[in-house]
Amino acid sequence: MGSIMSFLFGNRPNVANLDSDTFEKMFKETPDSVILDVRTKEEFDQARIPDSILIDIYKPDFLSQIEKLDRDKTYFVYCRSGSRSFNAAVQMLKIGFSKVFNLENGIIDWFGPVESN
């Protein structure tokens, strides 16, 4: 029973959730920052944070794409509402990334600049 409880509740990566202002301030002040959008291509084309990189969490190769990223950099991850990006951040922490931040309520609560196709 102990190992089941440990599996469910122990050793869970602690994802730092940031509000829009803190997210923007931190990625601007962090020299090695990467902004990672984990939404679909269609969502990315409609509106995105400038200079963000798209790696769709729904794609089967999501983890293999994430594994190619430099683990020494700082990642600021977002999606539409914060749920997919939170899950992506958990996965990143589990495979060895240490500096991962989530945009708490996603791009729908983003107050910074956006661009589109």
Quote the number of domains for the chain: 1
- Return the CATH number at 102: 3.40.250.10
Q: Is residue 10 part of a domain?
A: no
Percentage of the residues of the chain whose pLDDT score is greater than 90 = 86
Q: Is residue 42 part of a domain?
A: yes
Is 8's pLDDT higher than 70? no
Q: Is residue 97 part of a domain?
A: yes
DSSP 3-state assignment of 37? Answer: strand
Task: Identify the domain containing residue 99 by its residue range.
Answer: 15-109
DSSP type of residue 112: S
How many residues does this entry show for the chain? 117
pTM, two decimal places: 0.88
61-106 residue pLDDT tens: 999 999 999 999 999 999 999 999 999 999 999 999 999 999 999 9
Q: Pairing relation of β-strands 16-18 and 100-103?
A: parallel
